[in-house]
Amino acid sequence: MKIISWNIRGLGSKNKRRVIKEMLVNKGADIVILQETKKVEVDRKLVGSIWGARFKNWVSIPSTGRTGRAGGILIMWNTKLVSVLESVVGDFTVSIKIKGCNGQDWWLSGVYGPNNVRERINFWEEIAGLFGLCGPRWCLAGDFNVVRFVSEKSNGGRATRSMSFFNDFINEAHLCDPPLLNAKFTWSNMRDEAIWRRLDRFLFSAEWEDCFPNARQCALTRVTSYHCPIELNTDSLRWGPGPFRVENMWLKHPSFKESFRGWWETDSGLGWEGFKFMNKLRCVKSNLKVWSKEVFGEVLKEKKSVELQIKELDNIDEREGLNVELKRERESKKKI
């Protein structure tokens, strides 16, 4: 199972929604938690634009503020793989109860902590109440808008009251805070003198970890937003090759339809119809891989290479900062 948590800082941009959708589809997410949607209403059209509407369901908190442009949480799940029994919506959290194996049902909470110091008191009270509601098997994730330790801030400083509240909550709820792979921080203000912080994380109970002993969280490439996506992966092994996916660029190419027709009409041999159909699919897949490489090049390798380059530039920025030229290079790579 893969759960992705991401503060996307608004879903208004069509281009941003395209980038988000490509990331979620490529990572094969089962459950997605988005914070700061800045959307008053969430409908199937919006869900389809950021993940695909087929076999998807969701529950959300609308954005708030005078213009409805602040906050908002959205949890989406693949209904073919995840069965949700009930949901609870608060002011700062959205929680769903998921049907587990052998009656081991568990709760997942999406969190978006407030920036306002006064609202944080209500925030801590709300998630403390969830601890009593969600029972022993509980996982929560999101942008808490507070770090646990001074070391989780690039500019140092001193321990704050909010940090104490956060650590007290984790200790009293007996939650595990697993290490974050691939990055030290999850957010940056992306300014000339950049500040980096770890505001985003997954937390879970020991009983939840007993159900998913291989759980690990890692930071994904920061392709949009000031926050990087966080992935919680509970899979132990990957069985066989990944699923075959159709690229939109293929459908837009002028020679695609004619080429596809030729591949499909290739003789599939003798045998029963089901066998011949599977042979046709194998033939199409094999020819399509060759055609795509000839026309578009090694697209997946190029994408992964660009993502690694963006990640490396982020790592340099965390350590010592980037000059103007490298910042421009990072922004140009994000548009590829």
pLDDT in tens, 292-308: 888 877 766 677 777 77
Containing domain of residue 194, as a range? Answer: 2-233
Q: Does residue 319 share a domain with residue 206?
A: no
Q: Does residue 84 share a domain with residue 109?
A: yes
The answer as to whether 258 is a domain residue is yes
Rounded Cα–Cα distance for residues 30 and 79 (Å): 9
Q: How many domains does the chain have?
A: 3
The answer as to whether 145 is a domain residue is yes
Rounded Cα–Cα distance for residues 183 and 8 (Å): 18
Rounded Cα–Cα distance for residues 126 and 131 (Å): 9
Q: Does residue 172 share a domain with residue 303?
A: no
Question: Where does a domain end: 233, 258, 277?
Answer: 233
Q: What is the mean pLDDT of residues 254-279?
A: 76
Q: Is the pLDDT of residue 258 over 80?
A: yes
pLDDT of residue 271: 61
What confidence category does residue 36 fall into, taking pLDDT thresholds of 50, 70 and 90?
very high
Q: Does residue 207 share a domain with residue 229?
A: yes
Q: Is the pLDDT of residue 131 over 50?
A: yes
What are the φ/ψ torsions at residue 146 (nearest 5 degrees)?
Answer: -155, 145
pLDDT of residue 268: 61
Q: What is the mean pLDDT of residues 85-94?
A: 96
pLDDT of residue 110: 97
pTM attached to this predicted model = 0.75
The residue with greater pLDDT, 279 or 153, is 153
Q: Does residue 150 share a domain with residue 64?
A: yes
pLDDT of residue 66: 47
What confidence category does residue 238 fall into, taking pLDDT thresholds of 50, 70 and 90?
low
The answer as to whether 34 is a domain residue is yes
Say which CATH number the domain at 162 has: 3.60.10.10
What are the φ/ψ torsions at residue 4 (nearest 5 degrees)?
Answer: -115, 130
What confidence category does residue 48 fall into, taking pLDDT thresholds of 50, 70 and 90?
very high
Q: Does residue 198 share a domain with residue 278?
A: no
Per-residue pLDDT of 167-200, as tens digits, reads: 999 999 999 999 998 889 999 988 888 899 999 9
The answer as to whether 239 is a domain residue is no
Q: Does residue 274 share a domain with residue 224?
A: no
The answer as to whether 308 is a domain residue is yes
The residue with greater pLDDT, 195 or 236, is 195
**Half-sphere exposure (Cβ direction) of 22: Cα atoms closer than 13 Å:** 19
Q: Does residue 158 share a domain with residue 98?
A: yes
The answer as to whether 17 is a domain residue is yes
pLDDT of residue 5: 97
Q: Is the pLDDT of residue 152 over 90?
A: yes
The answer as to whether 238 is a domain residue is no
Q: Does residue 102 share a domain with residue 145?
A: yes
Are the beta carbons of 33 and 4 closer than 8 angstroms?
yes
Are the beta carbons of 34 and 61 closer than 8 angstroms?
no
The answer as to whether 242 is a domain residue is no
Q: Does residue 70 share a domain with residue 53?
A: yes
Q: Is the pLDDT of residue 310 over 80?
A: yes
Q: What is the mean pLDDT of residues 76-87?
A: 96
Q: Is the pLDDT of residue 86 over 60?
A: yes
Q: Does residue 171 share a domain with residue 65?
A: yes
The residue with greater pLDDT, 266 or 157, is 157
The residue with greater pLDDT, 77 or 265, is 77
Q: Does residue 123 share a domain with residue 160?
A: yes
Are the beta carbons of 202 and 232 closer than 8 angstroms?
yes
* Tokens matching residue 2: 């893969």
